[in-house]
Every structure is written in structure tokens, then in C-alpha cells.
């Protein structure tokens, strides 16, 4: 069976190649769908090859765990709503981080066991000759795998517990922010302790209790680091943990001598880091600011108070206004998706288009909960690409727009991002909706947005508020629009 190891190596090679080609295809809309299939084939090859590895024990257990894990994740992934995608990515990513940490734990425990055997041997032989010393020394792990196992385990564990907190927050199981005085100092202390354990173990202090303490501290740090981060910053954090997991996988891959893991992990680590930077840039936040500055808790002076009152409008008036408009821009936000209103909104848009109104959808880079999330949600409703405009393309068109219909978007259309330096969102690029001749905002109530900031747009002279649940309001608009003709 001398061909078997070669065949397995070839499978890993093919898997790595397919991952890279798959990701490449995923970065263009036309080939994206094929991309995931290519990567999927690569994964299948790699997993099958691993089953065939010679000298593997516990094959039954492995098979059982694979079957359980795959079916559970497949089942949840199939039935989850599109709006919940960001937290599902967080959840699956956290699982990957946890798996990397588990590999690190198994390897470290193995190193520890080997080291103890060697001590016992040196004690036996140690009657007087120095042979025992050299003998025991050989049982200690090499420096590179030991350190990389440790670093990978640290990153993986942080990614695991951090992603779980991110998941819980986006799922609404946890308060959006959890802050207390001295929090940063405490977090730093936990990190320092975890690193201290890492250094001690790295210097061959392979004690099982120390390894256990190391993992507890690492998990604790991921948890505590994520707790104070607000919901609006979560996409950046999830993306960062995605890159973390990639790195952890690459490092553990080195420990196991598995090239496919090294390549796939490292590619994701680098791609994820870049993606994180792109997202942070789109939100006008630095990564450091996201991690260490608490969103909303701004020190620099009180925010300007907003004068005026919100002016309501009836659905019938709103429908007439848009029916006889020349240009309408629809600005959807996460609130629309939560209310499952995208189908109704598209139906309404189609009716307007059939009346000769020029309709466009304007998408802020971070509309939804992640860059590109809103595009997915609109695509789900059947909105074609060419009606969807990016922020940079649509912003110059707002002054020529008769009606801007804002539905479920809040912070991304808030003019205080341009006018009020004391506002936490100051400097964030926004859609210049307030420049449109008329603005209609569909909103459930008078509350503030995801970031908890008052929106000056709602009080502007050219803004009318259409209160109601997104889907009901959009349905009402459809009915009213039909009744104009009928």
C-alpha cells in the first residue's frame, strides 16, 4: 500500500488548490455560486483522505462525531432565515475556533504525557550516568510545534468564546452591551495571565493543570473582550474572529504536519484580515476603536439636541406622492428585513415602475448587519442587480430625487454623522437622503436605531413619518397604489 500516502497527499494538495480557486470564484458575482461548490468538493476530498490515513485509532468515534456534527449544522443551516445569516456565520466560525483549540489541547496533553514518561525514565536510569538526561531531553517536544500549538490554541479559544458571545448578542439572547468600570484593566489582566501560562508551557513546563488554566483564561478573555462591544460593531468583530480562526487552523496545521490546513487557514487568515479592514473602513471605524473603544460611550461633550417634531403621514398620501413622482429612491435597512417586508417593498416598487416612475434601491455599505447582507436580502426578494445602487453612485442623485422612501434604515441615513462632531457616528459615511425633495420614513415607533442615537432626519422639514410595521406599511402602500388606478 505504498501508494496510499501519496494518494492522500495528492488529495490534500487538490483540496488546497480547490479552496483557493473556489474563493477566487466567490469574489465575482457571476462565478460565485460555482466557487462554493469547488471549495465543497475540496473539503470532501480532504475529509475522505483523512479517513484513509494509516495508523488512525478511534475511527468509529470519528465517524460518529462527523455524522452528528454535519447533520446538526446542515439542519440548522438549511432552515435559518436569511436575516439571521450574520449570527450563523459567527456560530459556525466559533465552532471552527473551538475545533482548533481542541486540536491544540489534544496535542499539548500528548506532549505533557510524553514529557512525564521521560521524567520517569530518567529517574529510573538516573542511578548515576548522564545517559538519563539526554534520553529525557528527547522526549520533550520540539520548540516550533509546541509554541505554534500554544499560539493556535490561544487564538482558537478566543475566537470560540468571542464568536459565541457575538452569536448570542445578534440572536438577541444577550444585552447589547455589558460595561463596567475597570473593565479594560481586568481584560488586560486576564490576557496577561493567559500569555504568562503560554510562555511557561512553551518553556517546557508541561503540567496538565497549567494547560487547563491556560485554556480557561483564553476562553475567558474571548468572552470578556466581546462583552462590551455593541451590536453595530459586531460584523467587524465576527470578521476579525473569522480571520483569527483561520490563523489558528494554520498554526495547528503546522503542528499536525498537514499542508492543506496550513494553506487554507493562512489564506482565510489573510483574506479575513483584509475583509475586516474593508468593513471597518465602510463603517468609518478603526479596528482598534471597535475592540477597545466602547461605542456610544463618547467622552467628547454632549450630543446636540434635535429641535422640531416628527410629522406623520398617511399611507394613502404617501402612495399618491410616489405614484406621481418622477424619481423614487428606496433606502432599505435591517428593519425591513426583520419585518420580512422586502417582498412587499419589491411589489410596491414594481407597481411604481409600471407607472413609469424611475425606482432605484440605495444600499449603504453596512446596510443590514454586514457589508453585502442587504444585497443578499434584496436578491432573495427578486430585486434585479441593475436597480440596486451603491452609496457612492446614488448620493449625487438625491438632490434630483422626488421621494426617498426609507424603510427600516436609521443610523446610515442620519445627517448628524456629518453635522455633529460629538455624535458617536460622526464621520461615518451616510446616504444623503435628507437632500431629496421629500423623504418618507417607514418606522415602527419613535425609538432610536441600533446604535441608540437620535436621528435628525426624522425631524427634518421635508420628512414625513409613516408609522407601522414594515410589512404592514408596505402592504398598505401597495393597496393604496392599486386603488389610485382602480
Partner 1 sequence: MLDGFLALYIFMLAAFTGYEIISRVPVILHTPLMSGSNFVHGIVLVGAMIALGHAQTPLGIGIGFLGVLLGAGNAAGGYVVTERMLEMFKSSKKPGDKA
CB 403 within 8 A of CB 441: no
| Interface positions, 245-274, toward partner 1 (CB under 8 A) | 245-246, 248-250, 252-254, 256-274
**172 vs 382, beta carbon nearer partner 1:** 382
Q: Which residues pair with 127 in a beta bridge?
A: none
**430 vs 440, beta carbon nearer partner 1:** 430
**101 vs 456, beta carbon nearer partner 1:** 101
| Residue of 14, 43, 313, 435 that binds partner 1 (CB under 8 A) | 43
Binding of partner 1 by 50 (CB under 8 A)? yes
| Interface positions, 388-417, toward partner 1 (CB under 8 A) | 388, 390
Is 393 a residue of the active site? no
Q: Which long-range contacts (CB under 8 A, 24 or more apart) does 203-212 make?
A: 204/115, 204/140, 204/141, 204/146, 206/108, 206/111, 206/112, 206/115, 206/116, 206/140, 206/141, 207/112, 208/109, 208/112, 211/105, 211/108, 211/109, 211/112
Binding of partner 1 by 343 (CB under 8 A)? no
Whole-number minimum distance, CB 150 to partner 1, in Å? 15
- Which letter does DSSP use for residue 294 in this model? P
Whole-number minimum distance, CB 20 to partner 1, in Å? 6
Q: Count CB atoms within 10 A of the CB of residue 173.
A: 10
The single residue of 411, 420, 432, 469 carrying the catalytic annotation is 411
Provide the b/e sequence for 336-370 (b: ≥16 CB within 10 Å).
bbebbbbebbbbbbebbeeeebbbbbbbbbbbbbb
| Interface positions, 150-189, toward partner 1 (CB under 8 A) | none
Binding of partner 1 by 376 (CB under 8 A)? yes
Length of the chain in residues, anyone?
Answer: 486
The span of 91-99, 189-197, 289-297, 440-448 binding partner 1 (CB under 8 A) equals 91-99
**Dist. CA 413–CA 407, nearest whole Å:** 11
**Dist. CA 328–CA 304, nearest whole Å:** 31
Q: Which residues pair with 404 in a beta bridge?
A: 329, 439
Whole-number minimum distance, CB 293 to partner 1, in Å? 23
**110 vs 300, beta carbon nearer partner 1:** 110
**What pairing do the DSSP bridges indicate for beta strands 463-467 and 358-363?**
unpaired
Binding of partner 1 by 375 (CB under 8 A)? yes
Binding of partner 1 by 484 (CB under 8 A)? no
Size of the site for partner 1 (CB under 8 A): 121
| Interface positions, 52-81, toward partner 1 (CB under 8 A) | 53, 55-59, 61-62, 65-74, 76-78, 80
Q: What x/- string results for residues 100 through 119 when contact with partner 1 is judged by CB under 8 A?
A: xxxx-xxx-xx--x------
Q: What x/- string results for residues 126 through 155 when contact with partner 1 is judged by CB under 8 A?
A: ----------------x-xx----------
Whole-number minimum distance, CB 165 to partner 1, in Å? 16
CB 167 within 8 A of CB 90: yes
Q: What x/- string results for residues 207 through 246 when contact with partner 1 is judged by CB under 8 A?
A: -------------------------------xx--x--xx
**Dist. CA 33–CA 260, nearest whole Å:** 23
Q: Count CB atoms within 10 A of the CB of residue 174.
A: 17
Whole-number minimum distance, CB 113 to partner 1, in Å? 7
Q: Which residues are catalytic?
A: 411
Amino acid at each position: 500500500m505504498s501508494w496510499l500516502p501519496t494518494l492522500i497527499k495528492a488529495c490534500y494538495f487538490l483540496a488546497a488548490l480547490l479552496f483557493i480557486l473556489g474563493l477566487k470564484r466567490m469574489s465575482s458575482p457571476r462565478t460565485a455560486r460555482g466557487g462554493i461548490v469547488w471549495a465543497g468538493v475540496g473539503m470532501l476530498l480532504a475529509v475522505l483522505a483523512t479517513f484513509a490515513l494509516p495508523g488512525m485509532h478511534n475511527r468509529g468515534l470519528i465517524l460518529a462525531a462527523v455524522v452528528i456534527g454535519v447533520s446538526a449544522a446542515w439542519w440548522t443551516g438549511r432552515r435559518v432565515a436569511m436575516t439571521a445569516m450574520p449570527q450563523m456565520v459567527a456560530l459556525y466560525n466559533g465552532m471552527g475556533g473551538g475545533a482548533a483549540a481542541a486540536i491544540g489541547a489534544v496535542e499539548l496533553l500528548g506532549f505533557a504525557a510524553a514529557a512525564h514518561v521521560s521524567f520517569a525514565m530518567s529517574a529510573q536510569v538516573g542511578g548515576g550516568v548522564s545517559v538519563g538526561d539526554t534520553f529525557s531531553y528527547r522526549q520533550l517536544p520540539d520548540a516550533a510545534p509546541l509554541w505554534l500549538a500554544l499560539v493556535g490554541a490561544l487564538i482558537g479559544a478566543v475566537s470560540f468564546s468571542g464568536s459565541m458571545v457575538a452569536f448570542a448578542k445578534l440572536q438577541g439572547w444577550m444585552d447589547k452591551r455589558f460595561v463596567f468600570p475597570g473593565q479594560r484593566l481586568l481584560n488586560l489582566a486576564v490576557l496577561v495571565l493567559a500569555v504568562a501560562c503560554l510562555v511557561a508551557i512553551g518553556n517546557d513546563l508541561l503540567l496538565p493543570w497549567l494547560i487547563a488554566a491556560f485554556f480557561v483564561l483564553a476562553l475567558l478573555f474571548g468572552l470578556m473582550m466581546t462583552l462590551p462591544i455593541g451590536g453595530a460593531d459586531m460584523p467587524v468583530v465576527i470578521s476579525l474572529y473569522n480571520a483569527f480562526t483561520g490563523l489558528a487552523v494554520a498554526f495547528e496545521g503546522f503542528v499536525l504536519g498537514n499542508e492543506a490546513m496550513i494553506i487554507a487557514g493562512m489564506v482565510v487568515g489573510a483574506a479575513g484580515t483584509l475583509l475586516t479592514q474593508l468593513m471597518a473602513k465602510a463603517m468609518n471605524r478603526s479596528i482598534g476603536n471597535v475592540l477597545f473603544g466602547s461605542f456610544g460611550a463618547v467622552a467628547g461633550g454632549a450630543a446636540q439636541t434635535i429641535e422640531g417634531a416628527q410629522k406623520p403621514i398617511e399611507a394613502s398620501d404617501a402612495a399618491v406622492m410616489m405614484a406621481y413622482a418622477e424619481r423614487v429612491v428606496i433606502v432599505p435597512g435591517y428593519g425591513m428585513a426583520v419585518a420580512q417586508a422586502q417582498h412587499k417593498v419589491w411589489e410596491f416598487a414594481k407597481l411604481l415602475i409600471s407607472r413609469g416612475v424611475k425606482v432605484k434601491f440605495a444600499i449603504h455599505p453596512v446596510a443590514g448587519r454586514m457589508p453585502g447582507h442587504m444585497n443578499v436580502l434584496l436578491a432573495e426578494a427578486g430585486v434585479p442587480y441593475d436597480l440596486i445602487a451603491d452609496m457612492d453612485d446614488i448620493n449625487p442623485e438625491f438632490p434630483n430625487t422626488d421621494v426617498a422612501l426609507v424603510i427600516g434604515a436609521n443610523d446610515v441615513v442620519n445627517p448628524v454623522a456629518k453635522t455633529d462632531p460629538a455624535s458617536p457616528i460622526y464621520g461615518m459615511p451616510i446616504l444623503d437622503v435628507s437632500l431629496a425633495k421629500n423623504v418618507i420614513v417607514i418606522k415602527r415607533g419613535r425609538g432610536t436605531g441600533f446604535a441608540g442615537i437620535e436621528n435628525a432626519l426624522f425631524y427634518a422639514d421635508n420628512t414625513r413619518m409613516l408609522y407601522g410595521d414594515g410589512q404592514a406599511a408596505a402592504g398598505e402602500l401597495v393597496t393604496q397604489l392599486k386603488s389610485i388606478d382602480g
